Structure 1
Amino acid sequence: MLTLYDLTGGAGQILRHLGGAAGVRQDAARVIGRVEPCDDRWRLAGAGARMREALAVVPAGSAGPPGELTAALRKLAGRGVAAVALATGDGGAVPEEERVAAAAHAAGLPVLVPVSPCGAAELQALVLRRLAGVLREGVEQRDRLLRLSARLERQGEDPGRLLRLLADECGARVRLIGPGPGPGSGPGTRKREEEWEELDGHGRLLDRVRDGRAHAAALTAGERHVLLHATGAEAPHPVLAAVRSEPWPPRLRDLVALSAGQLGLLRHPLERRAAGRRLRRTEMALRVSILQYLMVGGVAAAVRAAEPLAPGVLTADGGRLAVVECAAAEDRAGVARECEEAVGKRALVVLCPADDRHVIVVLPEPSGAGPESGADPDPGPELGSAAPLAFVVRAPGRVAGVSGPEPWSRAARAYESAFRALATARQTPERITVHTGGTPLAALLPAAAGQWARALLEPLERLPAEQRDQLVHTTRLALGYGTAFAARLVGVDRTTAGKRLSLVMRQAGLDRGRLADRAVLELAFRLGEHPRAPEEPGEPGEPGEPGGGPPRLRPLLLGSGPARQQAERFLEPLDTATRDLLAAWIAADGAVGRTAAGLGMHRNSCSQRLDRAGAALGRPLTQPGAGCHDVLWALVLTGGLPVEILHDPVAGDPRPG
């Protein structure tokens, strides 16, 4: 709707107050909602009918009934007329202007005249066009605001854009003031970010709206015209505050009120989405904690934590672990949701804490359901409970590795199997494989090797059981993937993981800084898990060394024909020069810079050759972990490295220099 300001102010002014109208109240906020013509005696049609918010247009040349002008104006005011406009005709003059101005002052009703001369019909048309334009603009403003509000609701965005649009539409300063205590909350109250300097001195009014004692309020202080609206259904309310330097016309007041309602509607979906995101983050953190419990052998704690979240998943005696690798730059959370849809409630899906592209799926399956780990697997092993993941990896760039069935107490070993299967999966059309990997060295050594491993690890038995389990599981992961990766996987910092590794190696009489010593310790752990190969005639047996002592590592290795044969097959893709490079690299404890310096080549060239060798062997050699150990054992067994590189604390051998 129009106001007197829309007609008498700004660049589009078409009316002015009669003769300055000294003494007459010039209420610029008076609303004009309709235009009604008068006769030459200043009377409206329809005697007695209310003409609320009307602008009465008087014909040109009419000075009103003599002696009754004030009474006529009062009658118009009594029927709801907001103002009177006098047409001036071609002459542009108002008859008896002083008498009309005096009557307007006495009646308290604004009397206006056109800025440019015009007749009654033309004046009425001008005002109606202006009224239609304002109504059209108001509809367009409401439409823009509602459309933006609907878009923000669909997209789940905060209301910042809505506030900026409201400020532009109203030519005002706009802010959503939070529900905390405001400037009028009493002495000693700390001012908050939500307070606004525009409301200085009006904190009590703000508090009334915020607390729900008033739904809306308006105030004028100097050149500030302030509107306050509560948003939302529950107190304390966020308050929409809008300030203009000019009075608020009704259409803009309505726009502010509409915006307050939309903000209230937007607030609840946003809060629900925020709560949903917090719940999802909490749930994923719990899933990571369950995985970390499994990785460090805390099966009982993992079962207790998992049962409310994924009932029945960990109550089986064991299962498989699958590692799904996302495509580059892919949304991992979206892939996790796809995994959940594929496996339903029969598995636990976890965002890997160690690798930002991996999703880990814990799938229950009795450990007897598949081939025994460590034994030669059947050709083409089945995916078992991981079969639904085949649909997930159909998307370009994704691969998945799956372990064989393992008891939950060996979840770390299952993870290692799944992790290694990724390399094979990248080379297969199906892009998902179960780890086969060939028979590990620990399964090829004679039974006496288990006696050696027990002797090496015996000092760990003197540690408290809970501490020992934590140390051993962290150490095994650190040996397999490096301390940084293992730390993220079990939920500790890198320093803590390194300290645990160092402590276990010291207890075993080994040096963490030597690659060969780390390989010896990992072999000892593996020997406690794998079934022994049948002994060949003449191989060391259970009695151990003469005199009843435990057997020694070096004779066990050199006396195993199957282990030597497998080592030859493992190194078969490499030429002699590459084997010599790997031997120098192992002797330098895996330090690329030292290896390059010893061979007289550039560091980058050395690193590239190691990468090519690792690709040929299917092992990541430039990353710390079990791949380096596999190369060391193969070189020792085939004579590429002297067996003396191995330090055996059980045999009391002197530490290599």
Structure 2
Amino acid sequence: MLTMDDLTTGENPMLRPVEAAAGVRPRPGRAVEQVEVCDGGWRLPGSVTRARDLLVVVPGDVPPPDDPAAALRGLAERGVTAVVLTGPAAAPGPGRDRAVAAARAAGLPLLEPVLPYGAAEVQARVLHRLAGVLREGVGQRDRLLRLTARLDRHDEGPGRLLRHLEDECGAEVRLIAPGAPAGWEVLDGHRHLLAQVHGGRMHTAALSAEGRHVLLHAVGSAPPHPVLAAVRTEPWPRRLRTLPALAAGQLGLLHRPAERREAERRLWHTEMTLKVSILQYLMVGGVAAAVRAAEPLAPGVLTADSGRVAVVECASPGDRPAVVRECEKALGRRSLVVLCPAVDRHVIVILPHRTGDGPGAGGGGGDGTAELLAPVVRASGMAAGIGSPGPWYRTAHCYDSAVRALAAARRAPRRTAVEEGGSPLVAFLPEAARRWAEALLGPLDGLPREQRDQLVHTARLTLSYGAASTARLVGVDRTTAGKRLALVMRQVGLGRARLADRAVLDLAFQLGDRLRAPGPSGVPEVSGGRPPHLCALLARSDEARQEAERFLAPLDAATRALLVRWIAADGVIGRAAPALGMHRNSLSQRLERAGALVGRVLTQPGGGCHDLLWALLLTGELPPEAVHDPVADGPRPA
């Protein structure tokens, strides 16, 4: 607000006290909110209903009243700030002397223009200054509110707002937490006052001590309140006193959303942790525990007989929270959306698959899931793979299928792909392969059921994704995952360090799933008789060989030869690169390009390497003796 100090001091004062009336000087901090020209009797216009903080200008074109004392006394009683004399009334003479005496008696400051302005010009100039002060006040408030809005959007703390307030007010500003020391000597003797504001018994206070002027404002709606303290070496002008009060209110508004957002973040992270636990239960076959945990979060999702898994690849790890929300928005409550614990750019989506939902149900592949996820993956660097459906106890297989579909999705125009079938080999092997898988996995039946289930589920994941990723998927450390795989492989007569042995066990597990599939009688079919030799099975399978040729068709002869030598080195890049006369980085790049062509990941241990090995074996590019068959040849020598 405009004050008397603004009009009577500074570089360009407009008014000055009448010298003869020096006994009644205007208070510098007294506000001026309006200015009016009075009539010839020094009376206010009838339109003026409020005279407080009013500056009255006496016109110079009419003579003053014979008895100005009554008029000035009436103005003083209504709370007028000061009276400005202009024209003849300001000229030395009896009229001015009577006015000076009357003003002194009424206790009303008497002013005159610094320059010979008339009443109308004085009014116009005061109004101009008043408008400027109002504009500046509005600008200060606008800047503070805009800054608060930015801090709220960006979830920032109060630091920038406090520094802004210091600049605007020419003050030192602090936010004092309840129970924290004030840190200012000027407040040391007024701790009781600060405690009252902290406790909510007072919401604002002002004090002056040691030549410093302090304003205190409570922040927030509930005690104990943080206190906004602002200190100036000069008294607080009225136009600035409102800024700390406004800032305290804005800090309270910032504080409440910040608390709410923090609670929402904690709730979201708790929910994500629970969803990861549900995923880990499913990956190791703990369907009952997964259903119990998932029902409050996503009712009905896991109560279907089977389900699908989709893997959404984000452009960067930091995009995952937003992608989770987009997936939930696209799929609704009929899905469980999980932050993948193994790959920091992946989001895993678990959906129910109802019996009768065909491959093209819903108007798009994967029960329509591809259509629903298409808008989510429009951004650059994103893709989504939807796996084939399966019972919940085979969630790990469905996840593996989704990962293979993701490799194809990266090259697809719409950045989505659906895999409806099995692996290139398992789907085409003859029925006799069941007996071979049953014989290979037979030694595991001697283990206690719970131990067997735990070992088998962890071993299968480790075969597909390696020990490090599996450890994050099932919630164990990588050493435990590796030990469980090694124990299973020793039980069946294979060695963990050999890529071909890992491929043999992986194939047996996939065929073992077929053993669990119910036949026409409703029970799993198991064929009797002597189990065949694995190489004989592969040699008799023309369909599998044709599928292998199709699988390898994108690769040229040089790349196939490189892959054969890489497999001979058990897929260890550091061992294969010197044998090939290449740098390990160059070999990694060649493997990445080859994997992109066949839709498999070859730079990491897992099912993609196993599929490639079987394809090369079926086409004759890898010799049969590269594969050890414990069923026909006995356990591999230690």
Structure 2 length normalisation: TM-score? 0.79
Give yes or no for contact 2:389–2:420 (8 Å, CA) kept in 1: no
- Decide which of 497, 506, 511 is 2:481's aligned counterpart: 497
Task: Tell me, yes or no, if structure 1 residue 629 matches structure 2 residue 617.
Answer: no
- Pairwise CA RMSD: 4.8
In the other structure, the counterpart of 1:538 is none
In the other structure, the counterpart of 1:620 is 601
- Decide which of 162, 175, 200 is 1:212's aligned counterpart: 200
Deviation at 1:303, TM superposition (A): 0.6
Deviation at 1:408, TM superposition (A): 0.7
CA 1:119–1:92: 2 relative to 1, 3 Å:
farther
In the other structure, the counterpart of 2:179 is 181
State the identity as a percent: 60
Task: Tell me, yes or no, if structure 1 residue 655 matches structure 2 residue 619.
Answer: no
In the other structure, the counterpart of 2:137 is 138
In the other structure, the counterpart of 2:235 is 247
- Decide which of 297, 304, 312 is 1:316's aligned counterpart: 304
Give yes or no for contact 1:381–1:434 (8 Å, CA) kept in 2: no
Give yes or no for contact 2:200–2:224 (8 Å, CA) kept in 1: yes
Where does 1:355-374 land on structure 2 (aligned, <5 Å)? Answer: 355-366=343-354, 369=356
Q: Secondary structure at the match of 1:242?
A: strand
The range that moved more, 283-292 or 624-633, is 283-292
| Count of matched residue pairs | 620
- Decide which of 563, 575, 582 is 2:563's aligned counterpart: 582
Deviation at 1:213, TM superposition (A): 0.7
In the other structure, the counterpart of 1:5 is 5
Task: Tell me, yes or no, if structure 1 residue 606 matches structure 2 residue 590.
Answer: no
- Decide which of 417, 440, 446 is 1:432's aligned counterpart: 417
Give yes or no for contact 2:360–2:366 (8 Å, CA) kept in 1: no
Aligned-partner residue type, residue 450 of structure 1 = A
**Residues 99-126 of structure 1: CA deviation (Å, up to 9, x unaligned):** 9999999987666666667677665554
In the other structure, the counterpart of 1:303 is 291
Aligned-partner residue type, residue 497 of structure 1 = A
Aligned-partner residue type, residue 637 of structure 2 = R
**Residues 360-412 of structure 1: CA deviation (Å, up to 9, x unaligned):** 2222124x5478xxxxxx99999676314414315635543323321111101
Where does 1:325-474 land on structure 2 (aligned, <5 Å)? Answer: 325-326=313-314, 331-366=319-354, 369=356, 386-393=367-374, 396=378, 399-428=383-412, 431-437=416-422, 439-441=424-426, 443-444=429-430, 446-458=433-445, 461-462=447-448, 465=450, 467-474=451-458
Aligned-partner residue type, residue 136 of structure 2 = E
- Aligned partners of 1:107 and 1:222: how far apart in 2? 35
Deviation at 1:609, TM superposition (A): 3.2
Where does 1:226-245 land on structure 2 (aligned, <5 Å)? Answer: 226-245=214-233
Where does 1:471-486 land on structure 2 (aligned, <5 Å)? Answer: 471-486=455-470
Q: If each structure's helix is expressed as a fraction of its own residues, which one has the higher value?
A: 2
Aligned-partner residue type, residue 467 of structure 2 = T
Where does 1:110-129 land on structure 2 (aligned, <5 Å)? Answer: 126-129=125-128
Q: Secondary structure at the match of 1:276?
A: helix
- Aligned partners of 2:91 and 2:604: how far apart in 1? 94
Deviation at 1:427, TM superposition (A): 4.9
Where does 1:21-60 land on structure 2 (aligned, <5 Å)? Answer: 27-35=27-35, 51-55=51-55
Give yes or no for contact 1:320–1:386 (8 Å, CA) kept in 2: no
Aligned-partner residue type, residue 578 of structure 2 = A
Aligned-partner residue type, residue 517 of structure 1 = D
Q: Secondary structure at the match of 2:497?
A: coil
CA 1:168–1:554: 2 relative to 1, 3 Å:
same
CA 1:40–1:441: 2 relative to 1, 3 Å:
closer
Q: Secondary structure at the match of 1:529?
A: helix
In the other structure, the counterpart of 1:187 is none
- Aligned partners of 1:88 and 1:327: how far apart in 2? 78
Give yes or no for contact 2:464–2:605 (8 Å, CA) kept in 1: yes
- Decide which of 267, 279, 282 is 2:270's aligned counterpart: 282
Give yes or no for contact 1:19–1:101 (8 Å, CA) kept in 2: no
Give yes or no for contact 1:40–1:59 (8 Å, CA) kept in 2: yes
CA 1:137–1:410: 2 relative to 1, 3 Å:
same
Aligned-partner residue type, residue 332 of structure 2 = G
The range that moved more, 3-12 or 308-317, is 3-12
Task: Tell me, yes or no, if structure 1 residue 591 matches structure 2 residue 572.
Answer: yes
Deviation at 1:312, TM superposition (A): 1.2
Q: Secondary structure at the match of 1:525?
A: helix
Q: Secondary structure at the match of 2:217?
A: strand
**Residues 42-76 of structure 1: CA deviation (Å, up to 9, x unaligned):** x76699x984334466799xxx999x999998886
Q: Secondary structure at the match of 2:231?
A: strand
Q: Secondary structure at the match of 1:611?
A: helix
In the other structure, the counterpart of 1:640 is 621
- Aligned partners of 1:621 and 1:253: how far apart in 2? 69
In the other structure, the counterpart of 2:506 is 522
Deviation at 1:314, TM superposition (A): 0.8
Deviation at 1:585, TM superposition (A): 0.7
Give yes or no for contact 2:90–2:112 (8 Å, CA) kept in 1: no
The range that moved more, 135-144 or 156-165, is 156-165
- Aligned partners of 2:496 and 2:147: how far apart in 1? 62
Q: Secondary structure at the match of 2:272?
A: helix
In the other structure, the counterpart of 1:547 is none
- Aligned partners of 1:181 and 1:149: how far apart in 2? 26
Structure 1 length normalisation: TM-score? 0.77
CA 1:16–1:296: 2 relative to 1, 3 Å:
farther
The range that moved more, 341-350 or 408-417, is 341-350
Aligned-partner residue type, residue 451 of structure 1 = E
- Decide which of 455, 463, 471 is 1:487's aligned counterpart: 471
Q: Secondary structure at the match of 1:415?
A: helix
CA 1:38–1:426: 2 relative to 1, 3 Å:
closer
- Aligned partners of 1:116 and 1:476: how far apart in 2? 97
